[in-house]
Every structure is written in structure tokens, then in C-alpha cells.
Structure 1
Amino acid sequence: MTQPHEPPRTPPFQLFRDAHGIPHVRAAGERALAYGQGYVTALDRADQLETGRLRAEARLAARIGPDGLAWDRFAVRVRLADTARRVADALATPEREWLAAYARGVNAGLGHHDGPWRTWTPIGLFLVDHVLFNGFPAVLWRDHVARTLGPRFPGVPPATLAEWFASDGGPGAGSDAGSNAWAIAPDATASGSPLLAGDPHRVLELPGTYQQIRLACTAEDDDVPYDVLGLAFPGVPGVQHFGYALADGGHPGGHPDDGAGGVAWGITNAMAHHVEVFEERLRRGADGGWEAHGPDGWEPAASGRETIEIRDVDGETAGRGEQPPFRESVPWIETSRGVWIATRQDDTTPDEETRQFTIRWPVRVLADAGVPAWRRLLRARSARDVAATFGDGWVDPVNRVLTADSGGDILSLTAGRITERAPDERVLPVPAWTDAARERPWVRLPEPERVTTGVAVDANERPVTRPDTTTDDPPGEGDGRRAGRPRDRRPNREAHALGWSYAPYRADRIRHLLANPPAGGETPFTQHRIHADVSSSAALALMARLGTPEPLRPWAEAGAPMDADSTDAATFARWRDAIVRHLANDPRLDGLRPTDPHGTGSPYGEIYAPWFVPETAIGFGLPRLPDALDVGSDSLDLDTLWAGDPDDPAHNTPTAAWGDLHTLAPTRLPGGPELTYPTAPISGDNDTVRCTGSTPGVSPQAARGSVARWIWDLTDRRNSRWVVPFGASGVPGDPHTADQHATWAAGDTIPVETDWDRLEPVDPGPIETGRPSEPHPEPRRNTHGRQD
């Protein structure tokens, strides 16, 4: 039962904001601080939080109508809410109370006195943000490639067929996963202390993916003070991926930040194959329940149904033969290997066989999303603390971590839970009825590696120990010229190669830029040349393969910069699009566009459609695919391709600059308010360090890219810098909804402000306090093992 309401009272936290509206929250204890973080997040990102909660609960269609059905069906099948509840139920008391305090703060900020946010809701939002961030949809795509092209290319192994459509020979390089991070050792900085920097790459969302925030626990009621600033996920307490904690934990008396050093961290995606996909055989048992064919024969599978509601929007659901609210019963199945995610029966499948797929998701297997690590990171005092926290407690997704402290330690590691799988087992779904489907042990990840000199770069590249010597870059790698690289001598990096494909260009480009430091050494201000770099190594590689046209040779010699004001960059993009469309029309690739009578864009429904666009996959495969198909310059008719597409006159305007075509196209909240942002020319492209990803052959618009930039100075936190696209607020009309956007668009950053005396105190006023409804919501009808 719910708790009785408490009367309004003075907030148990203090709230301050800087000139960009970024919240700084201070409280005497960690639960009061978590409450304050939840409260201010509700003030700044209310619609984003509520949309995330509805997604976690498979109730998006109840808010926005039929457009939310695809997500709700997926959330039911993948058991998202049930997984979040399991994780919450398995937590120790301190973590459960910490989450509950955050949920109470959100409820108070939203005005839900006994509101719908519960202890498990923040976990649900974290899972919403990451359940499709891993590589399992790409496994379904590779299976589609192998089934479709296998008969047309007899003798070519399925893994090779899949490699044709990937940047360096496998999945992930063209996915939404990505990021840059680099650490600069004391011998290369002006201050003599380490410096960390980077930027995460995701789908560009409005409001933004990350929340800039500072959390200060003065420990008047607790025994562990801390003062941490960083980038948080709206709806999730703490600072998970990118943070900077003061070494002394802050000042209990709330004095101004004296700039003392501390410990900082940042992550990139490890591109690991950590969510396994299984092909299942399912049948009804004698009792009417489901059975699955495992390695030891037929075995019972759990199953059930959940009812989702569908809001009637402009009569779209009329004609269903029911009265509002409209409902749909969605089935779910779970075998001993994992949750059922997809069914396929089409011309690649025999009539008598329907192909079913499940995934083994570490979060669900372990009932652990890494929550203790989220809380423990706030108390870190050294790079070793951070490394131990990630190494012991991080679960999903698998990340590369760089951490450094003011004592000069820099550590590099991989963190997360991943099953032992050979590289050839990471390509296609594993048949559930074979020994390969038996449960495997978790990988024992290598110990953290120390970086003592030079630089360390992580940018989703295939882990390979780099030589110390200067080398000549092969065509299309690095910047195409002789490129001295600083030392990146982390040993045995190959042991961290836990995926199948990696991004081939950005890391080498960053190393090249860092090999030419400014006089006096690196500082936070000198990182702009790296964050803002737009040289396209992929363009150089493609032209090296097909020949560089005379008009673009000066542009190529300059490093193929994808500058917004460059007509050469636009010309190249038009030519690349024409090549992609030409290859997409190759009759040997006919059938890659799935036959889909329902118009969802994939054989598995709308959720998976982004992975089943042939042009997208072909664009990722350049220049490998022309070689695989033996398509040479002559057969491509380059003169015609350079002329562009006559059916797209706007795209082919000879005077158009790249920025005229390459505009921003962020994903907006479904059913959310209309937020505006200033238009600005956008430089960069998919493979450039300054990532603003377009979709060659489909659209020049940037739908993904750098969702934040960060620079942590381990000498003095006040010298650190950061930025997000748009701004700190998601409230329409708020001056901080888009006040950072022009800076972000220019590839720049804004200073971090930490001096309490320079911050503006904000009085939230009396707030309603209540407790989240702690029994879980009324369970939906469950039919475990029975006819459903």
C-alpha cells in the first residue's frame, strides 16, 4: 500500500545553477542528494523522463497512440520492466534506498505525490537507453545477408558475406555505438598532470541524451563526502560514463571549489559481442504451454501475455470493434537461453519452418545492471578506485574505460560482462539445439593497463598494440601522409578484442593529431583541434580505391575535410551517394531489401528497421564491397556518377556546400513538446573525429553524432570544459533549451563552473514529499506454462 502524504516541507537539498542553467545540487547526505538530483531532473526534463518511464513500462502507446505500439510490443517481449524489477529486488539496502530517494525526488518534481516512479524505474530507463545499443539487431541483419546472398555466391562463407557490409569486417562500425576518448600523460601536458578528453556518439536526441550535473554530498549526515560533476542519463541517479570527482570529497562546509585535483573517467563502447542471439525451435507441449529444443532435447519454456493500452488518436484505432481504451494482448516467451525477440518466415525459410530468435542478455541473466557501481563511482578518490569499480561491478554495455588522477596515474581497461565466444561464433545466431548453445562462462577480462607516457586513444578501433615508430600510412588510413604518432604502448590490447568489427579510422586520426602537440604541451584549450577535426579518412580510402577525380585532388591532398562551407565535400558526398545507390541496384544484391507486406521496413518489425536498409549497410561497406563484387572504376562509370542524381536537383546543386545538405535531424520525443534550436552549419561526417553522421545513399542529414564533449584537467578541475548539443533544459521556452548549441555546432566547449560563490542559488520552494508506490504495479495477466 502507498504511504500517507507528508505535508510540504523545506527541500533536503540546495540547488544552484550556472550561467548555462546547469544544475549543481548539494545535500548533507547521499539520499537527500539523490532526491535533489531526481527533483531537478524532473524540473529540467519532465517530458523526457515520463516518456522514458512509459517506454520502460511498455505503455508508450497509451500516451501517443498506435505510433507507440512497435516499442511496447518489443518491451513486452524483451521483458524490460520485469528485468528492471528483478534487478531492483536483488539490490542491497543502500542501493535500493538510494534509487528510492531518487524516484521520490522525481515524483516531487513532477507533482506525483504517490507518483508512478518507483524504485525500479531508474533502472528501467537505463535499460531503455541501452537495450538496443548492443549488437544483437546486427546479428539478425547478418543472418539476413547470409540467407539472401548465400545461394547467389556459392562457396563464399556466411561470415565473409557479412564482412562485405562492414567498415572493418563485421558488425558495429556502422551502428549507433561509438565514441572517442583519449588520455594524455603528464610528460605531454603543459601542467605536468594527466588530461582526459573525448565525446560519446549516439543518436542525436532533442532534448539531449546526457544531463550535465554536479552532485556534492557534504557528509553532515553521512560518513563519505564527495563532489562529482559529469554527464548523467536523465532519469538515472549518479554519474556513470563521464565524471570528475574531487580527491578530498569536497568541502563539508560548502566552501568554494579550490580547484584541487581528483580523479576523472570516460568511456567508449568496447564493440563487444555481449548479447548472444540464438535460433530456437518452439512448439506447444502436451499441457498447451511452450517448449523449446535445447542441447538436451525439448524443455519447457516460460510464457505469458501482457495487455497494452492504445490511445485513440484522431480515430486511428477506430474499427477495432471495441470501446476505448483500446487494448492489445502481447505474448512473451522465455527459454532457458533467453527472451524471445523475433520470428521470421519468408522466402528464405522453408514452408514447414518458422525461425524464432532469443537473446541472452547479461543484465537479465545476472539480475544486475551495475547499480552498485553507479553509486560507488561517486566515492572514487583515485584511478585505481575507478578501475576497481568498473572492473568489479560494471555489467552492461561492455565499455572501454580511461581513468586518471591528479597523482599522475592513468589506467586503461575493459569493463562489463561478456560470455566466452570465439570470433566465428559472434557472426550469426547460435542454433539452440546444439552444444554451442550451452551456457558459457563469463570472460575474465585483462587487468587494467597503466599508461605512463605519451597518449592512449580509444575510438572503437580494433584493439591492437601500436608501434612506437613513425610509419607511412597505407592509402586511406591516417591522413594519407607520413604521420608520426605518439606512443600508445598499452600491451596485449588484442586481449580486449571481444567483438567482431570495429571502427577503422578515428583512432589513428586522433593519434596523428596528438603527435603534433602545440608548443608548451597540451592543455584543455588545445583539445579543440581534435574535437573539431573533420578530415575524412574514409573519403581518402574510397578515392584511393576508385581513383581521385582531378577537381578533388587539392581537397584530398588537404585531408578531405568535411567542412560545412566546402563545395568539394558536397561534391564528394553526391558521388558517394551515387555509388551506394548504384551498388544497391546490383542484381546480385537483389533481395537484401526485405519483402515486407506490413511496411515496417524489416522482416522482424519496425523496431529493427534501421538495421535493414541496404543502402546504409552498403555505405558502411565502402570501399570493401566494390572489391568483393569485383566492381571496378570502369563498371561504375565514374563520369556519370560524378554528375550526380538527376532525380535529386537540390542535392546536386553544383554550388551547394556540405553544410547546405548536411543539416541536423535530431530524434524528437514521441508526443513531446515542440523544442526549437538555432540552425547552424554542421561540419563533419560519420567517420570523422567530429562525428555528425549522415546516411550515404539515403540522406545527407546528421541524425547521430557527438552527444557531448568533455575535457577533464587533473591539475585543476576549474580548467575543465564540456558541452552538449542544444542545452541543459528540455522545457519549451526556457533560455537554456538551446544556448549551448552554437558552441557545440562549432566543435567547441564551454568552461566548467565549480565555484559555489559564482553560482546562482535557486529556491525550489516547499515541495510535496511522498514515497514511490512500493508494491510493484498490479501484475499483468501471466500464463506461465499454460495455453496463451
Structure 2
Amino acid sequence: MNKGETMGGTMVLRARHWVAGLILLPVLLLAVAVGYLAWIAKIAEPRYDGDVWLPGLTAPVTIRYGPHAVPTIEADDLADLLFAQGYAVASERMWQMDLMRRLAGGRLAEVMGPEALAADRLFRTIGLGVAARASLADLDEAHRRMLADYARGVNAYQEQARGRLPLEYRLAGFAPAPWRPEDSLVIGAYMAWILSFNARAELTYLNLAARLGNERAAELFPTDEGIRAPAPHPDLPRLDPDLAGALGQTIDRLARLPARFGLPMPGAASNGWALAGERTRDGQALLANDPHLAASMPGIWYLLELESPEIHVAGAALPGVPFVMIGHNDDLAWGFATTMADTQDLFLERVTADGAHVERPDGRPEAIRERIERIPVAGWDAPDELIVRSTSHGVILNPVLGAGTGTAMDLPAVDTGFLLTLRWTTDVPDRAFAGLQRLNMATSLADARAAILDFRHVSQTLLLAHRDGGIGWQVSGRLPVRKTGDGVFPSPGWAAGVGWGSYVPPDENPGGIGPPDQVLIAANHRIGTLDDSGRVGRVWMAPYRAQRIAELLATDRPLGAEDLVAMQFDRVAIEARRYHQALARLVPDLQRLDPTAAVIAERLLAWDGEMNPASPEAALAVLLEPALYRALFGPALGDELTTQLMALSTSSYSPLLEAVRSGRSSFWDDGGGQVAVWTRALRIAAEEAAGRRLDQVRTLSFPHAFDRIPWIGRLFSVGPIGLGGGSQTVNVAKAAPHDPGRILFIPSLRVVYTPGDWGRTRGSMPLGQSGHRLSRYRTDQLDDWLSGRTYPWPWHGPAPEQTIGTARLHPRD
């Protein structure tokens, strides 16, 4: 080999090294970046063991962490206890708490820029921040001090965590602002908003009525099995199609906005049932509860135990809010189910020629009131200015229909000649925080029922079980007394006799102690007779979960806690029986018209109705629902309006279920008759199912606020996960029929309380305690939640062998 060949070989080798280096360099830089981000994520996690010195404490506080990082917080007085609760919850959920208060208060654009401005304009218009400030002013000094104690704990965490905030803050490029007492109340106001109903249905009604007319559109809003909605107001005008189209977009945005930020959406539900000691094996009361909320990352609840000389309580807290929302103390346990009370009404207003007034029936114009909201927007030199207008019938929604954000999220402005106003109970200051504190410290069923009446903005059914074996219930919330009508549909503001006169006196809200059969069930269904429930509302969810719970409880043998745990995982769909009854009537006609459709029907008739994840028939049933919706209602409504109608089924009894149950609907003829409608739907559903199992058709995801960001979203969200259960099963997995493959609402926790021995209370949550990306406690409960396993909730702290660490908080001067 000559010298030239040697030099050439060396140059080639060096070139290869350079190429390898150039290839390797980005890989090394990426590895360094990933390692740096992982380090940031890990140092942000809380310390479960050791000593921490914090300004604001008056005496040491001990936090013992048990399995799943569930803390038992022990303090010498209530002020330090709430301080430590704020500190501990913020150390795991600061990002979630921050986004919740910003979304509810209309302050997201301040840190996230113009993309979030539509959400801010919506919630500034609704006025949750205004309501929270009014509620804070209405509280007595003692309760304002409790909120301040909690806020000081959150801010102590922020100060102590400088330089090691959660990873999301590093990626988003901002830091949390100091926590204020009103922030806790605005989170409560947001939960009241998502648990209030009928505004969305009224908007949808206006949209459908533009196509069908008022009377026929009303047929699409049955209130319960065999019960039609009352007629709309005779003076309600038929809106023009342009407005209807804008309303349709508004409905979609109202539903989707919170989910875009990984936060709970409207449309929640719940199961709860209680047994008095006469019905149980040990003679002690039992209470089961599983509130249904939208899946999100992190989950909505944080488990803990609080103990001081003034209070001893354990359960699920709402991050950002002091005390325990769902839980028990030494004497009694409590849970909640949404009552489905109608506390929202929509009014149409006619504007006078000067544009500054609306018409009233007595001939006198009413002046439109205004307030100005200035919304800071990241990257903008000046804040966005929003003029919020209102009348005696509520806040005017029209501004959220028109341009204002300068983005693709704007909705078209429509010159209709009408204003749309929303009336809600927020004109009365809420005292829910005072009620929550009283509930946490209640010692009797009567005390707890009285405490919940301070929940003015949100209507919930409180279920109670006492250690003396008794059970009770109480409906919360201010229930409007309407001058005329039922509030199911919008009303013309210029007509005589419309509007709200007053509220039902709180002590007249439905409730009681110890029913004759010693069983209480609340599953968002109609409670009592139509006359009894009429003052609460006229819109309920399907009764099937309640019916199935009653079936499971209808036994002569005494029941134990393990029986209630098993009931919470029941997947039998009662509505499948309604489908069976309808198909059994139609099979002979199907065989004559379309033998293939008859074969598909026979498959469903042979199915036992259990929404097992491995069941192909359950998958077929899930896909049959949207196919039936479109085959039955599509000819009259078109695809867009049919989709809007389907979206309502997550929060009300659907017209499809009533048509299937009764066999009666004027819409059958639009589709060529029942046999023709069923034939098309069965064929379409079978083709889409194509032998797939239920868990291959429907999946569950837990979206994070970053979910929509390419690549990054996958790192923070959880799922998709194939899942069993259905929209009407006790073990709920609720999806909207127009999007049957995406499960939206799930049991956000499950718990069975055992007042005879609080140490036997058991439950589980879908994800975990921590919101930190790399924490071992971020999703450590998911497998248990999916498989039906539960674990003991803390009481008197974890056993020594189960303690993962003890943190000691000390005062710092």
C-alpha cells in the first residue's frame, strides 16, 4: 500500500468519524435535554419524609403518608391544619389548581395567549369570578379566615418550591400567581356550573325548533319514561336558521372548552345508595358513592385525613378548596349525586329601537345594565375589553356568539333582533364553603342536612349514613319559583307572567331521614312523584342505573360492604331490555323485509345485556344507538342537528330511548316506518362493529392540559384504554352517541363507607394522588380502579409498616 492510499484511507476514516459525530451530536443533545427535563420533573415532586420550615405556621404539623401517598395531617389547631392542607395539596396539584381557578375566573389568556381568550370571554360573561367575590364578601369573618389559612399554605408551597415548580410551568413559561381566598370559591363556582343543567338543552331546543317548529321540537325532550315535556310558551318565536346555526356552534363550544385544558366538563352524574342498619349484616348503616365526572389528568379528587382538636375527617378533597368534599368524620359519612334540578333558564329579549333597553309586558322599557371586563392576553399590548350586559332575566349571551378573539375560534355574529339571556342562581351569594365546614363537623343527620342547605349555587342530593345505623338525604341548592311555566324551554322576555318570582325556602327542599324501606338511591333519576319532583325540575337522566341498583338491593338477605363494592362494578344495561322488547315485536316484520337485519336482531336478542369488555354483542349495541338516532331523526333534522340532539343524552333522558321503549314517535314515519328504520340501523351497526369487542370499540383517555400539543400531549395524557361498561350501567362508562368510541364520564372515585368501623371504609380513584409527570403516585391506582380492587381509606393514619414517610412542618420566623 502506498502513501497516497494510506492518506486516502485515513481521510475516509476521518470523514466517517465526522459524519458519525454529526449524527451523534443531536442524539446527545436530545439525551441531555430529556435528562434535564426529567431532573426538573423529579425535583418538583414533594418530599414525603423529613423536616420543612415554613413561614406562617404557629406550631409544628405532622404529615404521615400511607399507601398511594395518601396523607394524614395532624395539627394542634384548625388554622395550622388548613395551612398544612393547602401546602400538601399544592405540592401535588399546583398546576391543576392554577388552571381551574384561571378557567373559572376568565384568566387563562393572561398566561396562555389568544388561544384561551374564547374561554375567558365565556366565563367572564357567565360571571363566576363576580359570584365568587360576592360569596366571599357574604361569609363571616371566621370562614374568611379559614380560606386565608388555606391560601397561606398554598403560597408557602409556592415560596418553598421556587426553582422547582412542576414541569408544566417550565414548558408553558409562567409561574403561579399567589393564591387568594376567592380562588377557592371560584373553583367551587366552576363545579356548580358544570353540575347545573338545562341551559344547554334550551339552546339546543331553539336550534331544533328553527327546523321543526316549537311543538314538534318539544317532542324531542321527554322528561322521563312515558312523560312528555310541557308545551313551550305560546309566544315563543320561531328563530331564523342563521341564528340556529350560530347557536349550534355555541353549544359545541360550551361543551368542549374545559376539556381543551384537561379540566372537568359539564354533564356530570353520580350513583349513591345507603342502607340503614336494619338491612345490613352487622346492623350498621352502609353508604356507597361514585360521583361521575369527566376523565382528566390529573383526576379531580385528592384523598387525605385531617385531624386537630376541632375536627377529625377523612375523604376526598377538591384541590384548591379546604376541608373534605366527600368523606366521613367520627359520626357520619356523606356522598353526593347530582339532583338534576333545573336552576338555569334561557329568555329571549326584544330590543327597543335605541338598543339600550328591552321590552317588558307592561309597556315600560327596561334598561340594559353593563359591566366592563378587561382581560389581559399574553403577547398583547392592551387587554381585550368585553362589555357584559344583563337584564332582570340574566346575563346576555350574544357577545360570545360574535367576533372578539381575532382567532378561528370566533363565532359568527348574527343580527337577530333578539338577545339571549341566561338566568342562574348566582344572583344569590353562595355560602357553600360555610356549609362544607359545617358538614365536615356535623354530628347528626339533622346537622348535616341543615349544613348542606348553605350550598346555594349547586343542587346536589346529599346521602348520609350515621354510626347509630340511621340514614338520610337532602337536596341542596336554591330552587327557583317561576311565575309561570316549568322552565324546560326558553321563554319570551316580553310576555306577561314569565321570569322568576323568588326561591323555594331552603327548608322546603326535598329531604328526609330513615325512609320506610330503609334504602336510599340517588342516580340522577326522578325522585318521588311528578308533582313532588316538579319544583326541583322536569329533566332527569334515564332511570336505568337507579332501577338496576334497586334490583341488586332487592334481596331478603342482609348485605355487607363487600356486596356494595361488587355492585359498583355491575355492568348490566337495563336499557338493553328495552331494545329486546322492541326487537322481539319487530323480528317477524324484519324477517319479511330484510332477513339479514333479522339475523342481526336475533344476535342482540340472545345477548344478556352485560357490557362486558370482551363482548362483541355489547359493541354492536353501542354502535346501534347512533345508527338508530340517525335513521330515526336524521331525515327530519339532518346530520348536524341530529348530532346536537345526541349530545344531550349525556345529561338527560333521550328521545331515542323513549321511542324504542314506547314504539311511539312521529319521527318513525319520516324514516319510512319502524321496520325500515330498524333495518337500516341494524345493518349499519353490524358493519361498523365487524366482530370487534366492546373494548376495541370504546376507549378511555385522561387528557392533560397539553393534550392538543403534538408529541408533548402524549407524554402527559394517559390512555387510550379499552373499557367495558356503558352509559347506563352502574359501573358507568358514558359516551355521547355521536362519538361512541370516546368515553367521557366515569366514576371519578368509588367508596363504600362503613360507619360501624371506619377503618373498613374502602375505595379507589382512577389515577393517583400526584399530578407530577414522573411520580410513582401519578397513576398507581389505575389498575385497581380498572379491575375492581379497592383499598382502605385512612383513619387514625397509616400503620407503621405502611407508612412511606413522615413530613414534619415547622414554623419559620
Deviates more, 1:120-129 or 1:496-505: 496-505
TM-score by length of 1: 0.78
Q: Which residue of 1 aligns with 2:581?
A: 544
What does the per-residue CA deviation read over 1:428-460, in whole Å, with 9 as the maximum and x for residues that have no partner?
122222343444121132452423544221111
1:417 aligns with 2:490: no
1:567 aligns with 2:616: yes
Q: Which residue of 2 aligns with 1:370?
A: 432
1:512 aligns with 2:561: no
Deviates more, 1:420-429 or 1:409-418: 420-429
Is the 1:271–1:460 Cα contact (8 Å) retained in structure 2? yes
Q: Which residue of 2 aligns with 1:725?
A: 766
Deviation of 1:733 (Å)? 0.9
Deviation of 1:268 (Å)? 0.9
Q: How does 1:41-120 map to 2 (within 5 A)?
A: 41-111=89-159, 115-120=177-182
Secondary structure of the 1:417 match is coil
Deviation of 1:506 (Å)? 0.7
Is the 1:122–1:236 Cα contact (8 Å) retained in structure 2? yes
In 1: Cα distance, 2:108 partner to 2:391 partner:
26
Deviation of 1:415 (Å)? 1.8
In 2: Cα distance, 1:643 partner to 1:302 partner:
52
Match 1:683 to one of 701, 707, 724: 724
Deviation of 1:206 (Å)? 1.4
* 1:554–1:195 distance in 2 versus 1, CA, 3 Å: farther
Aligned residue type for 1:365 = D
Q: Which residue of 2 aligns with 1:138?
A: 201
Is the 2:397–2:422 Cα contact (8 Å) retained in structure 1? yes
Q: Which residue of 1 aligns with 2:797?
A: 756
What does the per-residue CA deviation read over 1:474-507, in whole Å, with 9 as the maximum and x for residues that have no partner?
xxxxxxxxxxxxxxxxxx9647753333322110
Deviation of 1:169 (Å)? 5.1
1:386 aligns with 2:448: yes
Is the 1:281–1:355 Cα contact (8 Å) retained in structure 2? yes
In 2: Cα distance, 1:294 partner to 1:103 partner:
45
Q: Which residue of 2 aligns with 1:624?
A: 658
In 2: Cα distance, 1:387 partner to 1:658 partner:
42
In 2: Cα distance, 1:208 partner to 1:34 partner:
22
In 2: Cα distance, 1:615 partner to 1:195 partner:
31
Deviation of 1:623 (Å)? 3.1
* 1:30–1:509 distance in 2 versus 1, CA, 3 Å: same
1:189 aligns with 2:280: yes
In 1: Cα distance, 2:722 partner to 2:503 partner:
46
* 1:94–1:158 distance in 2 versus 1, CA, 3 Å: same
Is the 1:209–1:233 Cα contact (8 Å) retained in structure 2? yes
In 2: Cα distance, 1:279 partner to 1:336 partner:
12
Match 1:267 to one of 321, 332, 336: 336
Secondary structure of the 1:762 match is strand
Is the 1:179–1:200 Cα contact (8 Å) retained in structure 2? yes
Aligned residue type for 2:192 = H
Deviation of 1:10 (Å)? 7.9
Q: Which residue of 1 aligns with 2:240?
A: none
Secondary structure of the 1:692 match is coil
Deviation of 1:24 (Å)? 2.0
Secondary structure of the 1:134 match is coil
Structure number having the greater helix percentage: 2
Secondary structure of the 2:502 match is coil
Q: Which residue of 1 aligns with 2:697?
A: 661
Q: How does 1:438-457 map to 2 (within 5 A)?
A: 438-443=499-504, 444-446=508-510, 448-451=512-515, 453-457=517-521
**Residue segments in structure 2 that go unaligned for 5+ positions in a row:** 1-52, 163-175, 231-250, 252-264, 403-411, 588-597
What does the per-residue CA deviation read over 1:317-374, in whole Å, with 9 as the maximum and x for residues that have no partner?
xxxxxxx45742222112233222346999xx99974322222222x31122422101
In 2: Cα distance, 1:617 partner to 1:116 partner:
36
In 1: Cα distance, 2:356 partner to 2:706 partner:
35
What does the per-residue CA deviation read over 1:100-130, in whole Å, with 9 as the maximum and x for residues that have no partner?
1111111222338995311211001111223
In 2: Cα distance, 1:49 partner to 1:214 partner:
19
Aligned residue type for 1:359 = L
Deviation of 1:727 (Å)? 1.1
Match 1:230 to one of 315, 329, 339: 315
Is the 2:483–2:500 Cα contact (8 Å) retained in structure 1? no
Deviation of 1:66 (Å)? 3.3
In 1: Cα distance, 2:401 partner to 2:183 partner:
36
Secondary structure of the 2:436 match is helix
* 1:141–1:465 distance in 2 versus 1, CA, 3 Å: closer
* 1:352–1:52 distance in 2 versus 1, CA, 3 Å: closer
In 1: Cα distance, 2:398 partner to 2:414 partner:
17
Match 1:198 to one of 263, 279, 289: 289
What does the per-residue CA deviation read over 1:360-413, in whole Å, with 9 as the maximum and x for residues that have no partner?
222x3112242210111121112121112113x221211112212111221122
Q: Which residue of 1 aligns with 2:522?
A: 458
In 2: Cα distance, 1:569 partner to 1:580 partner:
17
Is the 1:292–1:299 Cα contact (8 Å) retained in structure 2? yes
Q: Which residue of 1 aligns with 2:753?
A: 712
Is the 1:725–1:744 Cα contact (8 Å) retained in structure 2? yes
Q: Which residue of 2 aligns with 1:484?
A: none
Q: Which residue of 2 aligns with 1:524?
A: 561
In 2: Cα distance, 1:639 partner to 1:158 partner:
24
In 1: Cα distance, 2:414 partner to 2:717 partner:
51
Is the 2:270–2:337 Cα contact (8 Å) retained in structure 1? yes
Deviation of 1:529 (Å)? 2.5
Q: Which residue of 2 aligns with 1:395?
A: 456
Q: How does 1:22-41 map to 2 (within 5 A)?
A: 22-41=70-89
* 1:382–1:53 distance in 2 versus 1, CA, 3 Å: same
* 1:37–1:516 distance in 2 versus 1, CA, 3 Å: same
Is the 2:444–2:466 Cα contact (8 Å) retained in structure 1? yes
Deviation of 1:721 (Å)? 0.9
* 1:495–1:747 distance in 2 versus 1, CA, 3 Å: farther
What does the per-residue CA deviation read over 1:11-41, in whole Å, with 9 as the maximum and x for residues that have no partner?
7532122111122222222222211111111
Is the 2:480–2:503 Cα contact (8 Å) retained in structure 1? yes
Deviates more, 1:499-508 or 1:87-96: 499-508
Secondary structure of the 1:460 match is coil
In 1: Cα distance, 2:274 partner to 2:224 partner:
32
TM-score by length of 2: 0.75
Q: Which residue of 1 aligns with 2:219?
A: 160
Q: Which residue of 2 aligns with 1:252?
A: none
Secondary structure of the 2:221 match is helix
Q: Which residue of 2 aligns with 1:258?
A: none
Secondary structure of the 2:689 match is coil
Aligned residue type for 2:321 = V
Q: Which residue of 2 aligns with 1:244?
A: 328
* 1:52–1:614 distance in 2 versus 1, CA, 3 Å: closer
* 1:331–1:454 distance in 2 versus 1, CA, 3 Å: same
Match 1:128 to one of 190, 193, 197: 190
Taking only the aligned residue pairs, the percentage that are identical comes to: 25
Deviation of 1:550 (Å)? 5.1
In 2: Cα distance, 1:325 partner to 1:768 partner:
41
Aligned residue type for 2:191 = D
Deviation of 1:720 (Å)? 0.6
Deviation of 1:637 (Å)? 5.5
1:699 aligns with 2:740: yes
Is the 2:706–2:716 Cα contact (8 Å) retained in structure 1? no
Aligned residue type for 2:80 = A
Deviates more, 1:29-38 or 1:610-619: 610-619
The count of residues paired between Structure 1 and Structure 2 equals 673
Q: Which residue of 2 aligns with 1:299?
A: 366
**Residue segments in structure 1 that go unaligned for 5+ positions in a row:** 220-224, 247-261, 313-323, 467-491, 595-600, 602-609, 770-788
In 1: Cα distance, 2:566 partner to 2:225 partner:
28
Deviation of 1:730 (Å)? 1.1
Is the 1:141–1:611 Cα contact (8 Å) retained in structure 2? yes
In 2: Cα distance, 1:425 partner to 1:503 partner:
19
Secondary structure of the 2:290 match is strand
What does the per-residue CA deviation read over 1:716-747, in whole Å, with 9 as the maximum and x for residues that have no partner?
00111111111111111111111111111224
* 1:128–1:729 distance in 2 versus 1, CA, 3 Å: same
Q: How does 1:281-300 map to 2 (within 5 A)?
A: 281-282=350-351, 290-296=356-362, 297-300=364-367
Aligned residue type for 2:291 = P
Is the 2:396–2:422 Cα contact (8 Å) retained in structure 1? yes
Q: Which residue of 2 aligns with 1:336?
A: 392
